[in-house]
Homo-oligomer: A and B are copies of this chain.
Amino acid sequence: MPVHLKKEIENLKKELLTLCGMVEDSLFQAVKSIKKRDVKLAEKVIDSDIEIDRMEVKVEEDCLKVLALHQPVAIDLRFIITALKINNDLERIGDLAVSIAENSRFLSAQKPIDMLFDFETMAEKTQAMVKKSLDALVNIDCDLASQVCEDDDEIDAINRQMYDQTKRQMKQTPENIETLIHLLSVSRHLERIADHATNIAEDVIYMVKGEIVRHNPSSSSKTAPA
């Protein structure tokens, strides 16, 4: 690989890591704002999303520049296309962190109720999946990427459990329906974040092995509707 191209690819990796750090932080703060019922923290997450959006645009433009200037082929070309896709997934995780912060803003103003599901475990596991998927990209580590795909099943299971509990709880305490819809929504956002981390991991595997693991029906959960 020419030295200039190598340098550009290293730079793209660094930019993706920066974006990933921003997104992880946003998710961490959004989850914390729910736990602490902290509206100000939720507002901070919502306001700082613009920085994530700007970074996403920068990464995309830099990928295009590398393509135009260096016209990479083979694994280098695939890396840049993978970077473009992962960039998109990271930005969407940022959007979902904002959605969680918006739920948090609503929930903080309501009478506290039991979280119904193992929210902390779900949040921690989802956060770890995002981190692992990026580590898999940066270190070109297919084993780690496969682990992320496996972890997704656990998140899907927690989300299904949450859905069943919410249904029951809505019937028992109809006065809490709005709060319960928001809680269900938090669970669903975390589940979608885990899906994006899985997309990233699948793209890493495809980049390295040329083996398409996305669209594998076993890796998606479709039983909880909301």
Contact = CB atoms under 8 A, between A and B. Distances in A.
Contacts of A63: 81
Contacts of A225: 99, 102-103, 106, 181-182, 185
A212 interface: yes
Interface residues of A, number: 43
Contacts of A166: 181
A226 interface: yes
Chain A binding surface SS class: helix
Interface string A22-52: 0000000000000000000000000000100
Nearest to A103: B225
A167 to B, nearest CB: 6
A73 B167 CA distance: 54
A181 B226 CA distance: 7
Number of copies: 2
A98 interface: yes
A77 B64 contact: yes
Nearest to A98: B222
A106 B222 CA distance: 12
Contacts of A184: 181, 226
A124 interface: no
A222 B67 contact: no
Contacts of A141: none
A53 B174 contact: no
A74 B33 CA distance: 44
A10 interface: no
Given A64-B81, A170-B174, A177-B170, A99 B185 contact: no
26 contacts: A53-B214, A53-B215, A57-B212, A57-B215, A64-B77, A68-B73, A71-B71, A84-B84, A84-B85, A85-B88, A88-B88, A98-B222, A106-B225, A163-B181, A167-B177, A167-B178, A167-B181, A171-B174, A174-B174, A181-B184, A181-B225, A182-B225, A182-B226, A184-B226, A185-B225, A188-B226
